Amino acid sequence: MSYDVILDGLLLVTLLVIGVPVPICFAAAALLLIVLGEFGTPMFLVSAGYSKLSSIVLLAIPLYILAGGLMSHGGIAGRLVDFAESVAGRFRGGMGVVVIISTAVFGAISGMASSAVAAIGGIMIPRLVERGYDRNYAVSLVACSSVLALLIPPSASMIIFGWVTNTSITALFLAPILPGFLLIMLFMFWNRVLTRNMPIKAPEPVGFVDAAKIASVKAKRAAFGLAMPLIILGCIYGGVTTPTEAAAIAVVYAIPVGFLIYRDLNWKSFYDIVWKSAQTSGVLMVLIFFASMLARLFTMENVPQEMMGSFLAVTENKILLLLMINLFLVVIGMFMDDVSGILLVSPMLLPIMLKLGVDPIHFGAIVAVNLGMGLITPPTAPILYFAAMVGGVKLGGILKPTLVFVLFAYLPVVLLTTFLPDLSMALPRLILGLE
């Protein structure tokens, strides 16, 4: 690898560590390569960034963010929690299960782990504490479950991965679903184990018929929110629309639901949600703009090929290489958010994965679970910090249960996703008929 690229990597890491915004870190790294290299005018870079950005595929991201913003405003989080509580809350440790299910479903609607923490955490942490759960444990559970938003479709991370690696987004939406479900199961198991010594108060006993009636009422109240991911997925997998068009349908669906059915929206809140969602999208898109510029320079400097050479120089054993790549992805996930991580490493690692015979769709699932785990793994762990803030606890207190979830739920899923391709390839093969 050339000294210019090594120096560039060091600059990128230094700027990230001192807190320079990630898009500016990418821009600075591109700037340094232009100054040091012999690329002539930088105009081709702006053109590369613009041509990548002006893509109809990427248009899905702002539309999903807007649909999620409209649906998750107001009472949908409360309705989801009420419904999940009516089903699972009656059992011992059931409130923990409510958190896991609610954050997974809310993540699917809003598409963002942080909004799942804010919305579900805000409601559930006080309720869990009231029922006798340890506050630190409650915060940790909310943070760890919220990362399921990356795995349950429609996921912005998978759209970006598909766009970067030129892989079918329809297939990528399906790939992390089974690893996501496995994770849900493991979370439920560890929730049962970790809460067994907590002084949890049992809820008032209710007969089966009454419980079913309550659940049906709560389900009706939450139905319009629950229907949104189904409409999106139905449109895409029914072959009716592209993911971008499905996202526009989701926005148009969310507007009358918010105004007329849930009545959570008024013109002022609608206006605020729309411009705030556009701001969130803008922040992501400018990150993609500068990352595309840097990626073009890295390609011109043969960085992906040299990266592959470096990995293969260590070992040619497929299992060891996959373990190294997993470790590399987790470390990237620990220091970066999922979008930046995908933009930076996917184009570099894809040639290695293809050489190892890993399908790009399978690789997408590997990236999603690894970067998801990184979001809750210290030292940076942005979701963990945010959850600690929402729950009003210190980070040190939530580390112990978080480590249990990371080591005994996330890690096994990461390894299974990596070494058992069928786990991520089964649904794309079954639904899309892929080879």
Partner 1 sequence: MLSSLFKSILSVGCALWRFKLQLQRWTLFVTSMGVTLLVFIQVIMRYFFDVPLYGIEEVAIYLAVWSYFIGAAYGAHQKEHISASLVDVFLPEGLGQMLIGMLASLISASVSAWMISWSWYYLSWTFRRGTVSVDLGLHMGWVHSAIFLGLLLMTMYFFIDFLERLVQIFQYKKVSSKRETL
Q: Which residues bind partner 1 (CB under 8 A)?
A: 15-24, 27-28, 31, 41-43, 45-47, 50, 53-56, 59, 62-63, 66, 240-241, 244-245, 247-249, 251-252, 271, 274-275, 277-287, 289, 335-337, 339-340, 379-380, 382
Q: In which element (H, E) is residue 263 found?
A: none
| H helix runs in 38-75, sequence order | 43-53, 60-72
**Taking the complex as a whole, how short is the minimal distance between the CB of residue 90 and partner 1, in angstroms?**
40
Q: Which is nearest to 431 in space by CA: 372, 361, 369?
A: 361
Q: Which is nearest to 352 in space by CA: 294, 402, 298, 310?
A: 310
Q: Using CB atoms within 10 A of its CB, is residue 397 exposed (0-12), middle (13-18) or buried (19+)?
A: middle
Instruction: Say if CB 394 and CB 147 are below 8 A apart.
Output: no
382 vs 421 by CB, closer to partner 1? 382
**Taking the complex as a whole, how short is the minimal distance between the CB of residue 255 and partner 1, in angstroms?**
9
Amino acid identity, position 369: V
For residue 18, how many other CB atoms are within 10 A of its CB?
8
Q: Which is nearest to 414 in space by CA: 318, 315, 308, 333?
A: 333
CA 111 to chain centre: 7
91 vs 271 by CB, closer to partner 1? 271
- Under DSSP, the state recorded for 202 is P
| H helix runs in 336-394, sequence order | 338-355, 360-375, 382-391
287 vs 295 by CB, closer to partner 1? 287
Q: Which is nearest to 70 in space by CA: 338, 337, 249, 242?
A: 249
195 vs 340 by CB, closer to partner 1? 340
Structure tokens at 299: 């390609």
**Taking the complex as a whole, how short is the minimal distance between the CB of residue 109 and partner 1, in angstroms?**
17
222 vs 384 by CB, closer to partner 1? 384
11 vs 426 by CB, closer to partner 1? 11
| H helix runs in 195-266, sequence order | 208-237, 243-256
**Taking the complex as a whole, how short is the minimal distance between the CB of residue 3 and partner 1, in angstroms?**
22
**Taking the complex as a whole, how short is the minimal distance between the CB of residue 124 and partner 1, in angstroms?**
25
110 vs 244 by CB, closer to partner 1? 244
**Taking the complex as a whole, how short is the minimal distance between the CB of residue 28 and partner 1, in angstroms?**
5
**Taking the complex as a whole, how short is the minimal distance between the CB of residue 365 and partner 1, in angstroms?**
23
